[in-house]
Structure 1
Amino acid sequence: MAKPTFNELAAFAAVAEHLSFRKAADALGVSRSALSHTLLGLEQSVGVRLLNRTTRSVSLTEAGAQLLAGIRPVLLDLDAALDRLAEARGAPAGKLRVNANKSATRLLLGRVVPRFLAKFPAVELDLVSDGRLVDIVETGFDAGVRLAEDVPQDMVAVRLGGDVRFVAVASPAYLAQQPVPNTPDDLQAHRCIRHRLPSGKLYRWEFSKHGEEMTVDVPGALTLDDNDFMAHAAADGLGIAYVPQSAAQHWLDAGQLVLVLADWCPPIPGLALYYPRNRHVPSALRAFIDTVKETNAQRD
């Protein structure tokens, strides 16, 4: 049996991590056809099929899963060794992949990214805006940014910015025609602008007051999947929306929206940068973490 090359094993690991030739090819910076050819060569070398391929999906065979389990620690150790070598040469370098939702991406671009790129010009930052809460390890990201309450427990979390507040808002014109709700249950008699999550599920509005928590599956004829659109629709009098206050602030300041159920909408812990607990932290990620902390210190 011919001994596989490092490039072949690295290519296999990328496909196994992404379960997609297109995504793995993009991550490696090669064409999909070249990657497919490399994997065919690897399978010929080891004499066993490692991947199940269809026109729509890629999955590991039993042999492929065994190979991945064996080489993954080695590849991670090699990455760590190369990263330490880069540190010894000087400033952090290489590619840093961060997954964040839309509001987090906006915050990073406004506060963190300019400072980070100015201090570490040798780092290539790949910032992916994604509404889904993805497994950052499985999808090949170095770190993610989400609400602190959504960060998986096996991750290290670093605060990014302050608390956030989700608020129920409506236009004065709408409230002139409808009784103002006093409790979350009163929303059942209102037109609400519902929120479809990236998973496809409808979001159930969550309220809290003096330790009492309520979750309401609100009615409504309009469903949207973007906080800014929901705030805009509420300002146009189409119903009550439940959005981050930052998304509604422009309309609140202009008097085109007002808060309802304000005492049921307390602040909650805001965004957090998170990364795997038990893996080597690359120098580029460590520099990004330090930049986030510096930004927090200046804001505080």
Structure 2
Amino acid sequence: MKIGDLSAFSAFLAVAEHRSFRAAAIELDITPPAISHSIKTLEKRLGTRLFNRTTRSVSLSEAGERLAAKLRPAMGAIEEAVQEIEGRRETASGTVRINASEGAIRMVLKPVLAHFLREHPQIHLDIVSDGRLSDIVAHGFDAGIRLAEAVPRDMIAVPIAEEARFAVVASPSYLKARGRPRVPQELHDHDCIRFRFESGAIYHWEFERRGIAERIHVSGPLTLTDQPLMVEAAMDGIGIAFVPEHLAASGLGDGRLERLLEDWCPPFPGLCLYYPGHRHVSPALRALIDALSRERLRS
């Protein structure tokens, strides 16, 4: 592989992401004809068409899809290695835009914010609370935070929290009046506190035990878009809630809540910070990643 191939591969990945030669040229700060020439040269060398082009659209061919899948992590690793060396002499400064749910912000960002900003006075963090799983590239974010299972496959994901679990909880007064469900299907006979995503969709409760998966569409008198409020509603005896375990920890610890169906709630990979693999990781973002990784090791 020649040095020129790296430029051609960078051009290829930029066009693959934007589905536009003009947008890729803007990102790479070169002319659209230069992008087009680079792609044609690469296609000629590989002996295959990488893009399907029309007057209105650009899409990856089957060969292009395979090449992009292989190149993204490889190019990301090369850029990260170079940036690691550059980062030793660059000052961490500037704005870092982060997209995350409110729960993720409170769980992994809030504990490090004060110390991080004191340690890096030239960094400004712009944190947007968003429960819609937005496209961070399309919306101009440097990185996002979400559960590992929800991170897009073309992103670099850095674990920043240990395994997570959900908990089914209810107040002692509710359970005394209505009894305890023993299997997920019995939730149909109970008042459940439902969660609505910002998209408008209702979350279906998901369970698993010994390889058996259950997905329950519950019903009840209350639907909320805020999980801490769901915990409070369960404490008030309104019904059964299904929430991240850490949100219910206080109520479980002091007896205001009791846990149900625990053996149906296995752990799963926790939160990750993720970012586009082919984009430059600034010293400021790298500093935040390092801070979150250190906090994970301490916790």
TM-score by length of 2: 0.72
1:285, 1:104 → 2: CA distance?
A: 17
Q: Deviations over 1:18-37 (max 9, x none)?
A: xxxxxxxxxxxxxxxxxxxx
How many residue pairs are counted as aligned between the two chains?
A: 231
Identify the residue that residue 126 of structure 1 maps to in structure 2. 126
- Opposite residue 73 of structure 1, the aligned amino acid is L
C-alpha contact (below 8 Å) 1:194/1:219 kept by paired residues: yes
- Opposite residue 28 of structure 2, the aligned amino acid is P
- Opposite residue 266 of structure 2, the aligned amino acid is P
C-alpha contact (below 8 Å) 1:112/1:295 kept by paired residues: yes
Shift of 1:170: 0.7
Identify the residue that residue 231 of structure 1 maps to in structure 2. 231
- Opposite residue 127 of structure 1, the aligned amino acid is I
Shift of 1:184: 0.4
C-alpha contact (below 8 Å) 1:91/1:120 kept by paired residues: no
Is 2:31 the partner of 1:70? no
Identify the residue that residue 155 of structure 1 maps to in structure 2. 155
1:88, 1:210 → 2: CA distance?
A: 48
Identity %: 46
Q: Report the 3-state secondary structure (helix = DSSP H, G, I; strand = E; otherwise coil) of the residue aligned with 1:162.
A: coil
C-alpha contact (below 8 Å) 1:98/1:142 kept by paired residues: yes
The change in CA–CA distance for 1:293 and 1:132 in structure 2 (over 3 A counts) is same
2:109, 2:289 → 1: CA distance?
A: 15
Is 2:195 the partner of 1:195? yes
Identify the residue that residue 272 of structure 1 maps to in structure 2. 272
Unpaired segments of 5 or more residues in structure 1?
1-64
The change in CA–CA distance for 1:115 and 1:151 in structure 2 (over 3 A counts) is same
Identify the residue that residue 172 of structure 1 maps to in structure 2. 172
C-alpha contact (below 8 Å) 1:115/1:291 kept by paired residues: no
The change in CA–CA distance for 1:88 and 1:189 in structure 2 (over 3 A counts) is closer
Q: Report the 3-state secondary structure (helix = DSSP H, G, I; strand = E; otherwise coil) of the residue aligned with 1:295.
A: helix
2:151, 2:252 → 1: CA distance?
A: 30
Q: Deviations over 1:62-81 (max 9, x none)?
A: xxx66434312218xxxx9x
Matches within 5 A, 1:43-192: 67-74=22-29, 90-192=90-192
Unpaired segments of 5 or more residues in structure 2?
1-19, 31-78
Aligned alpha-carbon RMSD (Å): 2.4
Identify the residue that residue 206 of structure 1 maps to in structure 2. 206
- Opposite residue 225 of structure 1, the aligned amino acid is T
1:219, 1:176 → 2: CA distance?
A: 20
Q: Deviations over 1:88-119 (max 9, x none)?
A: 86421111111111111112343322332222
